[in-house]
Amino acid sequence: MNKTELVAAIAAKAELSKVAAAAALDATLATIEEELKAGNSVQLIGFGTFAVKETPAHEGINPATKAKIQIAAKKAAKFKAGAKLATL
């Protein structure tokens, strides 16, 4: 399912226009993104939790040259499925 299909499904289930459903979806995704950038998590009971995972800097190996390289620290979005979603 792509975004257009998701908007159509939301519009049908919520009895909204596709424009209103698209606006609601965009606002939801933007809010989740803003909260993650601020370092907060977003928990949707039963569905799941969006959180930021921090990976510290560490040493790795270049597989082509076998040389040791330093891998920088990074932050990435992580999703953990909730109970209802995990038991599909």
Task: Tell me the residue length of the chain.
Answer: 88
Confidence of residue 87 (pLDDT cuts 50, 70, 90): confident
Q: Is 58 a residue whose pLDDT tops 90?
A: yes
Backbone angles phi, psi at 45, to 5 degrees: -55, 130
The tokens for 54 are 């921090």
The predicted model gives 39-68 an average pLDDT of 95
What's the longest Cα–Cα distance across the chain?
Answer: 58
The predicted model gives 37-56 an average pLDDT of 95
What pTM did the predictor assign?
0.79
pLDDT of residue 14: 95
Measured in whole angstroms, the distance separating CA 11 from the mean position of its chain's CA atoms is 22
11-35 residue pLDDT tens: 999 999 999 999 999 999 999 999 9
